[in-house]
Amino acid sequence: MTKSASPDQPDQRVELLEEQLQLRKHLVELGRVLIETKVETTPHVVEALLKEEEIKVERVPVGEFVEEVPPIREENGVLIIPVLEERLVVQTRLMLKEELRVSKTVSEELVRRTIPLRAEHATVTRLEEPDLRFPIIMEDEDQ
């Protein structure tokens, strides 16, 4: 047989409970270390092939009259640049006053030099062993 709630009886209520987890974190110091760095300089031999070019300019007097400007030319690896001036005769004519002869000498030399190179080394030393039975707790600043 079912019972129906009578209008005289108040409603019965069941309260529901809920657990909530609140998570917090904190820093625990487990020990300390000392880090030292040392710069060490050691000599190293380096080689390089150096190229040197030497330019020699030789002035060669010519003293000839010409009808037109001679071109710049090269003969046997020597660059020849004509140098002109006008001379007053009965008429103006071009005279090849001189030529500049420009030659190039190339030499190579293997050089060896000792140069210092630096390298940095780090040493890490633990200052104290942590006692994990009693940790040092530091509150996190962003809580």
CA distances from 22 to 18, 25, 127, 143 (A): 13, 10, 36, 12
d(CA 56, CA 106): 12
Q: Is the pLDDT of residue 5 over 90?
A: no
Tens of pLDDT, residue by residue over 85-116, are: 988 767 777 889 998 888 899 899 988 999 99
CB-CB neighbours of 99 under 10 Å: 20
Helices (H) and strands (E) in the chain, counts: 0, 6
Contact 31, 130 (CB under 8 A): yes
For 107-128, what is the mean pLDDT? 87
Tens of pLDDT, residue by residue over 19-43, are: 888 888 888 777 888 889 998 999 9
More confident residue, 89 or 74: 74
Q: Is the pLDDT of residue 135 over 70?
A: no
Amino acid identity, position 55: I
The tokens describing 17, both together, are 């409970």
Distance of CA 76 to the CA centre of its chain: 45
- HSE value, Cβ hemisphere, 13 Å, CA-based, for 141: 0
CA distances from 122 to 34, 54, 119, 129 (A): 10, 50, 10, 21
